[in-house]
């Protein structure tokens, strides 16, 4: 691979810089507003936990409950992110409402997973439920702060 000068890097990608210490290019990415939100960080953690927990679910649930739970957990983080990019308050609130609803739907699926014997109630009550409660509380507070900016 040919060495490209820093000037050319800037034309190719405005965030690409050269690390002068090591002489190699690296990317300095823009941080989007949703990435700074604690609630999005929590939702990201939740999605990762759900993927790990559902890995051991029965194979017959791969396209059923497992898929639904994974999609639901991703929906929480995704809707928080998408809402943050909207310019109109009504749209922001709409996406936060979807994120909140997805978190509640996921809680229901986790309870059912315990009922079916796929997950231990201790895992739900000690790890997952408190995280979902934290996320829903933060979504609620974020919606309040958007409605009442003073």
Angle, vertex CA 36, rays to CA 31 and CA 37, nearest 5: 145
- Is residue 106 a contact partner of residue 91, using CB atoms and an 8 Å limit? no
| H or E stretch covering 130 | helix 129-147
For 42-99, the pLDDT digits (tens) are 999 999 999 999 999 999 888 899 999 999 999 999 999 999 999 999 999 999 999 9
b/e 99-123 (16+ beta carbons within 10 angstroms → b)? bbbbbebbbebbeebbeeebbeeee
- Percentage of residues of the chain with pLDDT beyond 70: 81
Break the chain down into helix, strand, coil percent, rounded to 5: 70, 5, 25
What is the per-residue pLDDT for 26? 55
What is the per-residue pLDDT for 1? 40
Average pLDDT value over all residues in the chain = 86
Query: Averaged over 21-40, what is the pLDDT?
Result: 76
Sketch the domain layout of the chain as residue ranges.
1-30, 33-147
Considering the domain delimited by 33-147, tell me its CATH architecture: Up-down Bundle (1.20)
Q: Is the pLDDT of residue 33 over 70?
A: yes
């Amino acid at each position: 691979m040919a060495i490209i000068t820093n000037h050319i890097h800037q034309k190719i990608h405005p965030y690409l810089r050269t690390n002068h210490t090591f002489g190699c290019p690296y990317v300095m990415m823009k941080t989007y507003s949703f990435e700074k939100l604690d609630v999005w960080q929590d939702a990201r953690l939740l999605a990762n936990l759900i993927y790990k927990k559902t890995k051991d679910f029965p194979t017959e649930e791969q396209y059923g409950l497992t898929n639904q739970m994974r999609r639901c957990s991703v929906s929480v983080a995704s809707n928080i992110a998408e809402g943050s990019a909207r310019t109109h308050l009504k749209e922001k609130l709409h996406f936060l409402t979807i994120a909140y609803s997805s978190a509640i739907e996921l809680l229901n699926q986790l309870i059912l997973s315990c009922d079916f014997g796929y997950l231990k109630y201790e895992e739900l009550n000690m790890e997952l439920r408190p995280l979902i409660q934290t996320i829903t509380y933060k979504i609620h507070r974020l919606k309040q702060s958007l409605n009442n900016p003073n």
